[in-house]
């Protein structure tokens, strides 16, 4: 039986790295709006830190997509005893247990949803809906999460 480890963490930093909104043609149909998201991970075991950079994008059109809205958002977590759960993959490469990555991604995505709401308030972008996604999908896609889905507009 695996030994239980006490692990504490907190959100230590929320950074808005950029927000873009381009007002689309008012007559855009719901089914023509696409959602995609890039996700980058940064693990810093020396300083007990882990962070996600999330970049959700709403576009319209397939051949020459036009940007409607994009947010670049970084969320950083400070850990107590991060080293106790690190998994060494090679001499200089570490990772975290899958369930911890999924939990942190879920917290990050939910927090980003609130940031997007605040950023888009008062614009047409506030009607865009960030889809519900399976946070475990980040494990299958590594550091680049692509969710191709339609959003209601």
Per-residue pLDDT of 112-143, as tens digits, reads 999 999 999 988 888 888 899 898 888 875 54
Q: Rounded to the nearest 10 degrees, how much is the dihedral formed by the CA atoms of 139, 84, 104, 36?
A: -40
The predicted model gives 77-87 an average pLDDT of: 90
Over 50: is that where the pLDDT of 6 sits?
A: yes
Question: Measuring CA to CA, which residue among 126, 119, 134, 123 is closest to residue 151?
Answer: 126
| CA 77 to each of CA 66, 131, 149, 150: distance values in angstroms, whole numbers, following the listed order | 33, 24, 28, 31
pLDDT for res 106: 96
Q: What is the pTM of this model?
A: 0.82
Over 70: is that where the pLDDT of 27 sits?
A: no
Per-residue pLDDT of 89-117, as tens digits, reads 887 788 899 999 999 999 999 999 999 99
Assess contact for 50 and 100: CB atoms under 8 A: no
Domains identified in the chain and CATH numbers? 9-141 (3.10.420)
């Amino acid at each position: 039986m695996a030994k239980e480890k006490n692990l504490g963490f907190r959100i230590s930093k929320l950074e808005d790295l950029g927000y873009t909104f381009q007002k689309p043609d008012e007559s855009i149909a719901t089914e023509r709006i696409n959602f995609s998201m890039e996700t980058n991970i940064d693990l810093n075991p020396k300083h007990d830190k882990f962070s996600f950079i999330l970049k959700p994008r709403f576009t319209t059109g397939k051949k020459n997509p036009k940007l409607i809205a994009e947010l670049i958002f970084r969320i950083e977590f400070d850990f107590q005893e991060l080293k106790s759960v690190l998994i060494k993959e090679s001499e200089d490469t570490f990772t975290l247990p899958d369930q911890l990555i999924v939990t942190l991604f879920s917290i990050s995505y939910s927090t980003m949803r609130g940031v997007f709401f605040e950023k888009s308030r008062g614009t047409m972008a506030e009607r865009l809906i960030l889809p519900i996604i399976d946070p475990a999908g980040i494990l299958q896609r590594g550091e680049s999460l692509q969710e191709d889905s339609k959003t209601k507009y």
